[in-house]
Amino acid sequence: MGRILLCDDEVKLTRMLASALTTAGHSTERVATGREAIELCSREAFDILVTDLRLPDTDGLEVVRRVRQVCPETDVMVITAHATTETAVEAMRLGAYDYLVKPFSLDEFRMRIAKLLGRRELQARAGQLADQLSNLHNPENIVGSSARMREVLEQVRQVARTDATVLLLGESGTGKTLLARTIHYQSRRRSGPLCELHCAALPETLLESELFGHERGAFTGASEQRIGHVERSHRGTLFLDEIGEISPAIQAKLLRFLQDRQFFRVGSTQVRTVDVRFVLATNRDLQQAVRDRAFREDLFYRINVFPIHLPPLRERIEDVPALCAHILSRHRARLSEEAMELILRYSWPGNVRELENVLERAVILAGGTGEATILRRHLPAALTGAPTAPSPGSLLVPGFSIDGLERALIREALARASGNKSEAARLLGITRRRLYSRLKSMEADEASEQAEVSDRQDPGPSG
């Protein structure tokens, strides 16, 4: 139900319109002059002002202009005589939503009002949703109190206000997609579209048509015309994920588009222009890709306008407790001290996404009803086993030997355990007896090495 202000010096007409609206369940007010309409609108909230363009005191166009200015949330519908449709067009230009040409039927009037109210409702809903999304993507709600994340979030806040192209760099799962969305919802384009395209997932021809669209019959299988992402994100933001993976041909087309925002749909010779803000992301080292000639240098400079580096989680371990709290706040679960310790010790190659997955799995395992506590046994082996075990491949470098590694491990364990052999054995995951036996053979090896050295008359360093 709407609240509608009717303004016309023909009192008989406004009375009729008012009664038609009241029957339909709306509430109305009536005034006879432009001055009264402007005054009442600025004092009270109306959904719609219906005003004649010919008024005794003011020009109806002036009423439209003022009302749109003073209370932009009120929509204006103008009534005009046949002879003045030109003025009606001018009224629309000034911000009126619709116009009715006299004479019109009450049915038509009611229908137009209903349509406008329906549109207002949708708009209000869309506004609420956009607010919710914008809230969800508020930098305040992104976890990161480490110095590096604070810097990243500050950069996001600053660049979001501009139209600059942003390049998000970081390992998988560090939050690139989250920040791309944040940038859009914090920008003045937030009520415009946000289109996301995953460039690595598509073969070249498909990617080109996803980006720029195609005309019917442009290639085999193109049975319908298709609007591409660049057109769909007009007045909004286009987020291109995995930009490091695109082929040379697409790189060339993208470069041209980035230079002047002009493009062709596949199979069309008509050049088109759009207003789009770019956010791009990759987990690839683009500079290296340029050196390897896999990525065009000119395109790299085009997109490297405002790079933001997302640090891997292992380089901001201090954010982990807050991230855990953030993730677990969606569940009725808490972490045991031991579980937290293991989580802090792990290197998180999959970054925040891996942390989310681990915790969500643990919540299920800890399951049960009521408040769950996540224990060591609810965590995957990667965390509870040797926490920072390097991959075997990375160990097999020149100079490597199993014996050498074992000796290094034993020394490290003894150092960490301050010489306490039981504790060192526990750290190594072996029995005390086995440790003693290893230490003994280590001593023996070292002694014989020393003997060899002195045999060769070479004093060398000892120890």
Ligand X SMILES: Nc1ncnc2c1ncn2[C@@H]1O[C@H](COP(=O)(O)OP(=O)(O)OP(=O)(O)O)[C@@H](O)[C@H]1O
Binding site for Mg ion (CB under 5 A): 176-177
Query: Does residue 265 touch ligand X according to CB under 6 A?
Result: no
Neighbouring C-alpha atoms within 13 Å toward the C-beta of 317: 11
User: In the complex, what is the shortest distance from the CB of residue 149 to Mg ion, in angstroms, rounded to a whole number?
Assistant: 17
User: In the complex, what is the shortest distance from the CB of residue 244 to ligand X, in angstroms, rounded to a whole number?
Assistant: 11
Rounded distance between C-alpha atoms, residue 379 and residue 450, angstroms? 46
Q: Could you tell me what percentage of the chain is helix, strand and coil, using 3-state DSSP and rounding each to the nearest 5? A: 55, 15, 30
Q: Which range in 175-183, 201-209, 267-275, 368-376 contacts ligand X by CB under 6 A? A: 175-183
Q: Which 201-220 residues touch ligand X, going by CB under 6 A?
A: none
Query: Does residue 61 touch ligand X according to CB under 6 A?
Result: no
CB 213 within 8 A of CB 226: yes
Rg of the chain's alpha carbons, rounded to an integer?
35
User: In the complex, what is the shortest distance from the CB of residue 149 to ligand X, in angstroms, rounded to a whole number?
Assistant: 6
Rounded distance between C-alpha atoms, residue 111 and residue 50, angstroms? 14
| 112 contact choice in Mg ion, ligand X, none (CB below 5 to 8 Å, kind-dependent) | none
Q: Which range in 261-269, 349-357, 386-394, 453-461 contacts ligand X by CB under 6 A? A: 349-357
Rounded distance between C-alpha atoms, residue 14 and residue 10, angstroms? 7
Q: Binding ligand X by CB under 6 A: which of 197, 324, 328, 352?
A: 352
Q: Binding ligand X by CB under 6 A: which of 144, 213, 244, 312?
A: 144
Tokens 């201090």 -> residue: 318
Neighbouring C-alpha atoms within 13 Å toward the C-beta of 253: 19
CB 362 within 8 A of CB 342: no
Name the residue nearer to ligand X (CB basis): 279 or 427.
279
Query: Does residue 143 touch ligand X according to CB under 6 A?
Result: yes
| 175 contact choice in ligand X, Mg ion, none (CB below 5 to 8 Å, kind-dependent) | ligand X
Name the residue nearer to ligand X (CB basis): 313 or 379.
313
Residue number, nearest CB to ligand X = 175
Name the residue nearer to Mg ion (CB basis): 173 or 236.
173
Query: Does residue 186 touch ligand X according to CB under 6 A?
Result: no
Query: Does residue 184 touch ligand X according to CB under 6 A?
Result: no
Name the residue nearer to Mg ion (CB basis): 8 or 241.
241
Rounded distance between C-alpha atoms, residue 459 and residue 436, angstroms? 29
User: In the complex, what is the shortest distance from the CB of residue 457 to ligand X, in angstroms, rounded to a whole number?
Assistant: 60
Three-state secondary structure along 339-358?
HHHHHHHCCCCCHHHHHHHH
CB 345 within 8 A of CB 387: yes
CB 218 within 8 A of CB 267: yes
Footprint on this chain of ligand X (rule: CB under 6 A): 142-144, 170, 172-178, 283, 326, 352-353, 356
